[in-house]
Structure formats: structure tokens, C-alpha cells
Amino acid sequence: MGFHQLGGIHRQGVRGNAARAGVHDLLRAEILDGSLAPGDAVPSERVLAERFGVNRHAVREALKRLQEAGLIEIRQGGSTRVLNWRDTGGLPVLLDLLSDNLDPPVEIARSVVEMRASIGVDAARHCAGRASAGKRREIETLADTAAGFVGVDDEKLDLAFGIFWEAIIVGSDNIAYRLAFNSLMKAVLLKSEMARRIRPSNAPLIRDLGQAIGAGDQERTAEVARAMLEPDIKVFEA
């Protein structure tokens, strides 16, 4: 569906924040699904305002958000062009791709889990080397708690396992990992089916990771974290 067909999904009467969100979300969807391809010109503010039934300020704010996300380039005095989001986008685009797809493509799901494994292994290794002894003991306790819910209570397991990994990421003392992990966790939680498919089922492995971190053994920690996270990648391989 090209831009000229957007009128079919036009929402009448949107105002204020809702107006900006409506324009933004519809144009974003067009860009991410390829209907508006890299290099395509985005219609003028006047045309967009008429098509969506909003004022030009709402359109301007929506376009600004799209530019901040790396989806378009606004050229003063020239046409606004669609960018290749694979080259210019960031983690927020990944969340958009997941939120816009009830059943995300295997490529996207695999990419999320693959990045999660890469960050998780290295963050766990750093945690074992950087966290205080008290923090490492706390993480070992959190591991025991999470392991206790395996095969018993999935809802409590998901919560406890998330708390366990959050403590590891914080213990890694790496702000970039922490921010990326926040986005990855949100991406997984957006998709309950995706979360179900990678729910941990090996209680001893969770305890092993907690014990390795508790002992401050970086090499063993990385080995166990890799054994825990990397098999999940195969779940989403085509």
C-alpha cells in the first residue's frame, strides 16, 4: 500500500497528542513495511494535514519524531525523504517493529534474542569481576529464587528471572548494556508468545550462573551464561 492509499486508514477528528500520534504511527508503519521506501519523498505538511484531517503543527511534530527515530530526513527548503531505517534507526525502531507485528518475522525475533545473548554473556562476565561481594551474594540468592519457580509457576518465574538478570546487568557497571538491556527486555515482554518460547527451563543452570557470579569467577560465569542464552537463538532460526 503506497502513500496515496493512506486515505483508507485516515482517522477523522484526531486532535492534540492523539493527532500527532496518529500521523506519526501511520507514517511510521508505512516506512517500516516498505510502502514508503528509502529515497521516497514524504508529502508536504499541507498534503499530510489535509489527508489526516489535522493541523500542520501536528504534522510537523510527527515528522520531527520520525526524524529523531532515524526514519526520515527533513531538508530545509527541499523535500523530506525516507531513510533506510536499517542504516539510520536505533533500538526504538526495533520496539516499533515488534509492536507493529502481532507475529514478528523470524528475522526480527532472532535478532532480539541474538543481541540479548551477546550482551548477557559479556555483562554477566563483567558483573562477576566488578560487583561487590555483597552484590554477588544477592545475585546468587536471586538465582536460587528464580530456579525454584521453574516448572512450578511460570508467572513468578518470568518475574524472578527478570529481576535476576536486571541485577546482573546493574552489577556489570556498564550503562550502555543497561540501557540496551532495558530495550531488549521490553521487546521480549511486548510479545508473550516470544517470551514463552525462551522461558528458562533448566533450574540447575540458573543456580550455576548465580554461583559462578557469587564466586567472582568470570570465565565460568561467561561459560554458563553462554550455555543459558545461546540455545534460545536456535528457537528462532528459520
> What's residue 145's pLDDT?
98
At 125 the pLDDT is 98
Among candidate residues 70, 86, 102, the one where a domain is terminated: 86
**Number of structural domains the chain divides into:** 2
Say yes or no: 162 and 66 in one domain. no
Whether residue 118 sits in one domain with residue 77: no
Q: 149 lies in which domain range? A: 94-235
State the CATH number of the domain containing residue 66. 1.10.10.10
User: What's the pLDDT score for residue 167?
Assistant: 97
Q: What pLDDT was estimated at residue 238?
A: 59
What is the model's pLDDT at position 70? 94
Q: Are residues 123 and 190 in the same domain?
A: yes
pLDDT value at residue 104: 67
**Domain end marker among 54, 86, 118:** 86
| pTM, to two decimals | 0.75
CATH code (residue 115): 1.20.120.530
Question: Judging by DSSP bridges, how do beta strands 80-82 and 41-42 pair with one another?
Answer: antiparallel
Do residues 113 and 223 share a domain? yes
Q: What is the pLDDT of residue 16?
A: 52
**Is the same domain home to 72 and 102?**
no
pLDDT along the chain (238 residues), means of 10: 42 50 87 92 92 90 94 88 93 77 73 91 98 98 98 94 95 94 73 81 98 98 97 85
Same domain (yes/no): 131, 62: no
Q: What is the pLDDT of residue 2?
A: 46
Q: What is the model's pLDDT at position 209?
A: 98
